[in-house]
Chain A
Amino acid sequence: MADNMNVTLQEKDLKKVGVAQRISGVFAKILCYAFLFLIAIIVLFPFYWMIISSLKTLAEYKLPVPTLFPKEIVWHNYVEAFDAANLGTLFKNTVIVGIVSTILSLIITVLSAFAFARLEFKGKNALFAALLATMMIPGELFTITNYQTVSMFNWKDTYTVLIVPFLVSVFYIYLLRQNFLQIPNELYLAAKVDGTSDIKYLWKVMIPLALPTLISITILKMMGAWNSYMWPKLVTSNPNMELITNGLRNAYSDVSGETNFPVQMAAVAIVSAPLFLVFLFLRKYIMKGVSRSGIKG
């Protein structure tokens, strides 16, 4: 009899716990989604603002109380954006600088990360510590000395000056080295026994395994090249050598110096599109990288 009561009591308790668990689960989910929704709005709002602004008339844009949707959709802004600025040249320059600097930067990063992760040489750790220490120096300080250096070389208004100074990134090397270090040592030994050279091992085993990191680096570097503003502004004066960010800055001002913001916004939207596409295309690799991080030997 007593045993029976115990059992039923326990069953009741279990039910209660089950219900409580379900309720708290639902509650947690609601909170979670609400939070994500809020963050998504904060992140997406600037893009939304860019797109609706690019479709407004200048008069509507200047209204003291901004409208959340254009009263009249002006597609013509996009045509104007293309006509007013030398967008073709700007695009071409930026693409060349972006692609070349990304490829060269990847090669340098991969090789130095491999050296720091895998090779044994005297002073390896000291050298790596010194490299890391350079990350402490603010970028603005580099800008001044870099400017002096490139002026000395007479590199102004060339692609070289836009590409070379930023090829080596200690951060990328550090990131990839850490990733390389996680690849088990046995794979290297196995590859040695299987008769591979270091370079072949790097190419056939390490790079495929570190692909997610390499893709992240590619995206970061591309975005860096695409968005860079200050350095190109400093070292280019010839409009034919300008990059897209600089070109957009002044292209849409009329004689009185007033900027036609909707047209400029349209140009910004056009310029953002390629980067957006690159991200969309590479997104699945990034996700793959996240979900495959637990490599089994």
Chain B
Amino acid sequence: MKIVLQNLTKIFPSRNKKVKDEVVAVSDFTFEIPDGKLIGLLGPSGCGKSTTLYMISGLQKPSGGKIFFGDDDVTGLSAENRGVGLVFQNYALYPHMTVKQNILFPLQNLKGKDKLPKDVMIERAYTAAKLVQIDNLMDRKPSELSGGQQQRVAIARALVKMPKVLLLDEPLSNLDARLRLQTREEIRRIQKETGITTIFVTHDQEEAMSISDLIVVMKLGVVQQIGAPQDVYDDPTNLFVAKFLGTPPINVFDGRVEGEKLYIGDAAVLDVPGVSDQPVTVGIRPEGFNIDPNGTFVCNLQNVEIMGRDVSVVSTNEASLNPVIRSIVNSDNKIEMGETVTFSLKSHKVFLFSKEDESRIYF
């Protein structure tokens, strides 16, 4: 089922009545989430992504705008009547109940015509448990489970009533690195198997990019860009998005355009046809550098980190806004340790941004 957000806005009133400093957590969010897709809501902490999730779940009432599930307006519906599944950051399992009781709990709350006979409930609980591979732990208490297992129980509990929408609030943040990798693939698998429209909040861009069909990048309550992960990475609309996506992060420089040429420092590094003369902020992805003795971009070589397949070249430049420039080149390149390293640039990995509002300047 598709979900439509229409001018969704959430304003938290200020605590102090005398001082007016209300917080706009989400501002004018309009987006149609296609049916059966996995959406990553991405942004730094405090950008309103969890608030958006809570509004979709019904736990928070929007200050303005509307939410539709399919064609139904659910804006006024409370959480218990929306039929969504929600996995909390700290899982929020009921500590006094066993895994089985936890998973059964949403089913036991169904009323009226939705009410299920007991054996069907147990069957559904076991189906959900099998999906996340915890059907052998059904009689344990949450405190007797590892973090990863608890997280699966939380997902099973959210899935058991076959929700129209599955919402995940930073579901991986409490797991260790290896388990995180494994679990995010599992979330992807479960989502594909069930075909439930899933929205998943994270501040980890790698996590969002790796499993989402679409990502939504937010900053201070305002949506910055929506698109397929690769498109957003390759074609950021502004400096914030460019900086936020990618590991290692994008290299940022002070630069200027003169006569359709891009200058970083005194070196003309790239032709930028159609851009008028102006100072710019330049973003270059780490993979946008070629080691090229004939290049024009000279940097002070600091260190070369061998990573097997790739080589990470750490260098500095006066115009760089980051402490170091990190570029990743193929390990076939022979790098001579010297004072300097000379690059040429791949033009599709170089982005120009306006100095005034950080918006993208296309060339």
* A residues whose Cβ falls under 8 Å from a Cβ of B: 184, 186-187, 189-197, 200, 204-205, 208-209, 295-297
Q: Which residues of B contact A187 (CB under 8 A)?
A: 92, 94
In the complex, B59 has a CB within 8 A of chain A: yes
Complex CA gap A204/B108 in Å reads: 11
Partner of A192 from B59, B94, B96, B111 at Cβ < 8 Å: B59
Within the complex, the shortest CB–CB distance from B245 to chain A, in Å, comes to: 29
The answer on a CB contact under 8 Å between B85 and A193 is yes
Q: Which residue of B lies closest to A185 (CB)?
A: B92
Within the complex, the shortest CB–CB distance from B170 to chain A, in Å, comes to: 12
The answer on a CB contact under 8 Å between A195 and B110 is yes
The answer on a CB contact under 8 Å between B90 and A186 is yes
In the complex, B105 has a CB within 8 A of chain A: yes
The answer on a CB contact under 8 Å between B92 and A297 is yes
Complex CA gap A190/B88 in Å reads: 8
Q: Which residues of A contact B106 (CB under 8 A)?
A: 194-195
Q: Which residues of B contact A196 (CB under 8 A)?
A: 80, 109
The answer on a CB contact under 8 Å between A194 and B95 is no
| Chain B binding surface SS class | loop
In the complex, B79 has a CB within 8 A of chain A: yes
Q: Which residues of A contact B161 (CB under 8 A)?
A: 194-195
B interface, size bucket: 20 to 34
Q: Which of B131-165 contact A (CB under 8 A)?
A: 142-143, 157-158, 161
Complex CA gap A196/B110 in Å reads: 9
Q: Which residues of B contact A186 (CB under 8 A)?
A: 88-90, 92
Q: Which residues of B contact A205 (CB under 8 A)?
A: 94, 96
Q: Which residues of B contact A208 (CB under 8 A)?
A: 96
Residue-by-residue, is B23-66 near A (CB-CB < 8 Å gives 1, otherwise 0)? 00000000000000000000000000000001001110000000
Known contacts: A296-B95, A296-B142. The answer to whether A197 contacts B80 by CB under 8 A is: yes
| Chain A binding surface SS class | helix
Partner of A209 from B54, B58, B86, B96 at Cβ < 8 Å: B96
Q: Which residues of A contact B94 (CB under 8 A)?
A: 187, 190-191, 204-205
Within the complex, the shortest CB–CB distance from B90 to chain A, in Å, comes to: 4
| A–B pairs, 9, beta carbons within 8 Å | A190-B94, A190-B157, A193-B59, A193-B82, A195-B83, A195-B110, A296-B142, A296-B143, A297-B90
Partner of A195 from B59, B80, B88, B93 at Cβ < 8 Å: B80
Within the complex, the shortest CB–CB distance from A247 to chain B, in Å, comes to: 42
The answer on a CB contact under 8 Å between B88 and A189 is yes
The answer on a CB contact under 8 Å between B57 and A193 is yes
The answer on a CB contact under 8 Å between B92 and A184 is yes
| B57, B82, B95, B158: residue with the most chain A Cβ atoms closer than 10 Å | B95
Q: Which residue of B lies closest to A209 (CB)?
A: B96
Q: Which residue of A lies closest to B110 (CB)?
A: A195
In the complex, B91 has a CB within 8 A of chain A: yes
Known: A295-B95, A297-B95. 14 other contacts (CB 8 A): A184-B92, A186-B89, A186-B92, A190-B86, A190-B88, A191-B94, A192-B79, A193-B82, A193-B86, A194-B157, A195-B81, A195-B106, A195-B109, A296-B142
Residue-by-residue, is B105-139 near A (CB-CB < 8 Å gives 1, otherwise 0)? 11001110000000000000000000000000000
Q: Which residues of A contact B105 (CB under 8 A)?
A: 191, 194, 204
In the complex, B84 has a CB within 8 A of chain A: yes
Complex CA gap A209/B89 in Å reads: 21
Smallest CB-CB A-B distances: 9 pairs: A186-B92, A195-B109, A190-B92, A194-B106, A192-B79, A297-B90, A195-B80, A193-B86, A208-B96
The answer on a CB contact under 8 Å between A189 and B142 is no
Q: Which residue of B lies closest to A198 (CB)?
A: B80
| A186, A197, A205, A208: residue with the most chain B Cβ atoms closer than 10 Å | A186
Q: Which residue of B lies closest to A194 (CB)?
A: B106
Q: Which residue of A lies closest to B85 (CB)?
A: A193
Within the complex, the shortest CB–CB distance from B127 to chain A, in Å, comes to: 17
Within the complex, the shortest CB–CB distance from A39 to chain B, in Å, comes to: 34
Q: Which residues of B contact A200 (CB under 8 A)?
A: 109
Q: Which residues of B contact A190 (CB under 8 A)?
A: 86, 88, 92, 94, 157
Complex CA gap A189/B87 in Å reads: 10
The answer on a CB contact under 8 Å between B84 and A193 is yes
Partner of B79 from A193, A209, A296 at Cβ < 8 Å: A193
Within the complex, the shortest CB–CB distance from B200 to chain A, in Å, comes to: 16
Within the complex, the shortest CB–CB distance from A198 to chain B, in Å, comes to: 10
Within the complex, the shortest CB–CB distance from B104 to chain A, in Å, comes to: 10
The answer on a CB contact under 8 Å between B80 and A193 is yes
Partner of A297 from B82, B83, B91, B158 at Cβ < 8 Å: B91
Q: Which residue of A lies closest to B89 (CB)?
A: A186
Complex CA gap A192/B82 in Å reads: 10
Within the complex, the shortest CB–CB distance from B75 to chain A, in Å, comes to: 17
Q: Which residues of B contact A197 (CB under 8 A)?
A: 80
Q: Which residues of A contact B157 (CB under 8 A)?
A: 190, 194
Complex CA gap A200/B106 in Å reads: 12
Within the complex, the shortest CB–CB distance from B95 to chain A, in Å, comes to: 5
Q: Which residue of A lies closest to B87 (CB)?
A: A190
Q: Which residue of B lies closest to A294 (CB)?
A: B143
Q: Which residues of B contact A184 (CB under 8 A)?
A: 90, 92
